[in-house]
Amino acid sequence: MRRSLMSLAVFSCIIGFSTPASAHFQEIIPSADVLEDGGSVSLNLIFTHPFEGAPVMQMKKPVRLGVLDQGKNVDLLPRIAEKPVDGKEAWTVSYDLAEPDAAIFYVEPQPYWEPAEGRYIVHYAKVVVDNYAFGEGWDELVGLPVEIQPLTRPTRYLDGQRLFRRPSEGR
Ligand SMILES: [Cu+2]
């Protein structure tokens, strides 16, 4: 699970690649991808080499950080907190998920200068957290300039069952 989570977060939306040997990407890693009992999720934002786990790179405060929750875009920048990793600037944010639904967290980091390509690059990234293992809403788009729309459910099932129904679906 950890690996698929990572690949979702890392490969969600990437403009431009540097050479694979030195592949650094924006990470947005939630504390859980499915909250079986609802509650709070925290996400770590790290600019690093995900497959090697290091070295961590400096990540300036992002331009945008938000979540699409219950069909509404919530700005999470006011709640962001610094959480350095290996002495490099990195960030974290916590968010309470109230209703059964998939919440889609996303980040627009500041552009960084990629010497290998002679250009600035922005790693848009997003990740889905399924609250109460609801199992729907994960394919909604948050409206990034480049964005992958999942064609299959990116979060795990609980015994193949949904635990909750929307109120409109009745019993
Ligand atoms: Cu690198």
Ligand 1 (single-atom ion) residues, CB below 5 Å: 22, 24
3-class DSSP state for residue 75?
strand
DSSP symbols for 121-156 = E---EEEEEEETT---STT-----SS-PPPSS--S-
**C-alpha of residue 42 to centroid of ligand 1, in Å:** 25
**C-alpha of residue 146 to centroid of ligand 1, in Å:** 22
pLDDT at position 11 is 44
pLDDT at position 42 is 98
**C-alpha of residue 51 to centroid of ligand 1, in Å:** 11
Alpha carbons 138 and 127: distance in angstroms, whole number: 9
pLDDT tens by residue, the chain, 171 residues: 344 444 444 444 444 444 554 689 999 999 999 998 899 999 999 999 999 989 999 999 999 999 999 999 999 999 999 999 999 999 999 999 999 999 999 999 999 999 999 999 999 999 999 999 888 999 999 999 999 999 999 988 766 555 555 556 554
Query: Residue 171 is which amino acid?
Result: R
**C-alpha of residue 165 to centroid of ligand 1, in Å:** 44
**C-alpha of residue 24 to centroid of ligand 1, in Å:** 4
Start-to-end C-alpha separation, the chain: 31
pLDDT at position 133 is 86
CA dihedral angle for residue 141, residue 144, residue 148, residue 149, rounded to 10 degrees: 10
pLDDT at position 87 is 97
**C-alpha of residue 30 to centroid of ligand 1, in Å:** 22
pTM, to two decimals? 0.81
Fold topology of 2-169: Immunoglobulin-like (2.60.40)
**C-alpha of residue 33 to centroid of ligand 1, in Å:** 26
Alpha carbons 8 and 127: distance in angstroms, whole number: 7
- Inter-residue contact 29 to 44 (CB < 8 Å): yes
**C-alpha of residue 88 to centroid of ligand 1, in Å:** 14
pLDDT at position 159 is 61
Calculate the average pLDDT of the chain: 85
